[in-house]
Structure 1
Amino acid sequence: MSPMSALKSLFAASSVALLLAAPACAQNTPGVLRVSAIPDEAPTELQRKFKPLGDYLAKATGLKVEFTPVTDYAASVEGLINHKLDMVWFGGFTFVQANVRSKGQVVPLVQRAEDEKFRSVFITTQPGINKLEDLRGKTLSFGSESSTSGHLMPRSFLLGAKINPDTDLKRVAFSGAHDATVAAVAGGKVDAGALNISVWEKLVESGKADPKTTRVFYTTPGYYDYNWSVHASMAPALQKKIRDAFLALDASTPQGKEILDLQRATKFVPTRAENYKAIEAAAKNAGLLK
């Protein structure tokens, strides 16, 4: 089975599993804002990053804010469109998937300023790999199959360089998360990997990745990526409260700086569904979206 066929099967299976497993009490809980995020990092890291933001949003909305990790990208999509989650941090591709599956019923509220020109990086430990074309016959790890910055856009740029990952590489793997991709490359499990530039920079800054041994050999052009999305059925007044709260975050205040630093953002800006048309086109071109 090709990676693209496997992705479609995985997404469908995960969606069914989520629907079967979700408890009835998860729906429409009064006074609670149920929030989640695509699992592009370890669950403990996602929880740590969200805690101050959750407290801030609780005060801004008057609601109890609950963060619920999901097992995979598909679960974040299904959770929002089936009203088991109220707000989700999506990557560009997962937003497109949710919007298509819901027939336009997903509303992107805000994105980081950085998400207007987001980038992916390709990393390696091998001295003979210095450009995308050098990946022919090598092994490569993407992140999750549904990741924008860890799969879709890197695949798109590879195809643009006349390299088909499914036929021109020796083996393609999926690590499941950006930090896991770095570990796979650093540990010699694969020759190279593709991931989100923000996670790469964070791992380097924290000393969890050594750029002297594991280095970036290609950085993609910019593209729209992450956003915070809600279902269109959410009351417009609540949508406005949430959007306004994000837009009011100011790095010159202690609280604003803490939240923005954890989100690796200089500020949040409004966004719209039209911003993600290029990602939708790339997904269709790569055979990952019909």
Structure 2
Amino acid sequence: MASAAHAQTLYFSAIPDEDETALETRFSAVAKYLADELAVDVAFVSVKSYPAAVTAFRNDQIQLAWFGGLSGVQARLATPGARAIAQGVEDGAFVTYFIANTATGIAPGPDFPADALAGRTFTFGAQTSTSGRLMPEFWIREETGQSPRELFSRVGFSGDHSQTLRLVASGAWDVGALNYAVYDKAVEDGAPEIDTTTVIWRTPPYPDYNWTIRGDLDERFGEGFSERLTDAILELEDPEILAAFPRSGFVPASNADYAPIEETARALDLIE
């Protein structure tokens, strides 16, 4: 059982889907909000990679996490009693954008542009990203019958969605796949990368990001704490905090919602 000193602070983290400075800005406000709502100390713990977020959760260095679909599945499989409690309103029907450098001349369209992509260079995001790797790889295989390394002349992993956008915009890679919300925010912000990139295809929708908790929070913080934490997330209405995700709000979620992600990951041998 956790010591009283340990139980005074709720530690949480998030997959590093953007650069570290952006994450600190996003989640410092979340930490303050949760601390005020729950009357406990709350601290955001920065991690360097998607696997590091899963490891920190499994090792009890954090008790709450904002995971992607795949990292959430991995963390819950590794941590008995862990459960998804909430997702963004938009997360039940998330999509990935395939983007191309404008110099490629690849035009947007409703159909997967298999012929136009053949022989190009391509970058995913992080290796265990749902929107930056799992689902784009699934649809590449589904639409072409080929693996990414068979379809493209060169395949890489940028590490995060923002970096994917920068690398494709610079011409370092012809094509890339990234979280639609990151690209849409870049458009909204007038980011220069938008000038040299085009969204050429959008995947069908799938479940993605989620808040996941360890199963022993009530034992640590008192009976009903998990429910109060869930309510605090579901009742979050501050537009500035929500815009940082970016989400319009949060809705209840459960482990079962992510069964399609687990099935896809097993089919691609990303989890055993």
Same fold (TM over 0.5): yes
Give per-residue Cα distances to partners, 1:140-176, cap 9 Å, x unaligned.
Answer: 0000001000000010011110231022211110000
The amino acid that maps onto 2:127 is: E
1:118 counterpart = 2:94 = yes
Q: Which has the higher contact order (CA 8 A, sep 6+)?
A: 2
What is the rounded CA distance, in whole Å, between the counterparts of 2:5 and 2:199 in structure 1?
Answer: 45
1:257 counterpart = 2:239 = yes
Which runs of no fewer than 5 residues in structure 1 stay unpaired?
1-26, 251-255
TM-score by length of structure 2 reads 0.91
Correspondence list, 1:88-237, <5 A: 88-102=65-79, 104-125=80-101, 126-128=104-106, 130=108, 131-133=112-114, 134-162=116-144, 163-235=146-218, 237=224
**Residue 70 (structure 1) aligns with:** 47
Give per-residue Cα distances to partners, 1:169-202, cap 9 Å, x unaligned.
Answer: 1111000000000111011111100000011111
**What's the CA shift for 1:75?**
1.1
The alignment covers a number of residue pairs equal to 258
Contact 1:93/1:283 (<8 A) preserved: yes
1:245 counterpart = 2:223 = no
**Residue 79 (structure 1) aligns with:** 56
Contact 2:100/2:106 (<8 A) preserved: no
Contact 1:132/1:158 (<8 A) preserved: no
The amino acid that maps onto 2:141 is: L
| Mean Cα deviation higher: 151-160 or 47-56 | 47-56
TM-score by length of structure 1 reads 0.85
Contact 2:92/2:208 (<8 A) preserved: yes
Q: Are residues 55 and 101 of structure 1, via their aligned partners in 2, closer, same or farther at CA, if it must alter by over 3 Å?
A: same
**Residue 286 (structure 1) aligns with:** 268
Contact 2:106/2:200 (<8 A) preserved: no
Contact 1:28/1:83 (<8 A) preserved: no
Contact 1:178/1:195 (<8 A) preserved: yes
**What's the CA shift for 1:212?**
4.1
Q: Are residues 209 and 112 of structure 1, via their aligned partners in 2, closer, same or farther at CA, if it must alter by over 3 Å?
A: farther
Secondary structure of 1:211's partner?
helix
Give per-residue Cα distances to partners, 1:210-252, cap 9 Å, x unaligned.
Answer: 43420100011111000111111111522111110111123xx
Q: Are residues 108 and 209 of structure 1, via their aligned partners in 2, closer, same or farther at CA, if it must alter by over 3 Å?
A: farther
Contact 1:182/1:209 (<8 A) preserved: no
Q: CA RMSD in A?
A: 1.6
Contact 2:9/2:43 (<8 A) preserved: yes
Match of 1:43 among 17, 20, 29: 20
What is the rounded CA distance, in whole Å, between the counterparts of 1:149 and 1:273 in structure 2?
Answer: 18
Q: Are residues 148 and 28 of structure 1, via their aligned partners in 2, closer, same or farther at CA, if it must alter by over 3 Å?
A: farther
What is the rounded CA distance, in whole Å, between the counterparts of 1:221 and 1:199 in structure 2?
Answer: 17
The amino acid that maps onto 2:113 is: L
Secondary structure of 1:269's partner?
strand
Contact 1:132/1:161 (<8 A) preserved: no
**Residue 266 (structure 1) aligns with:** 248
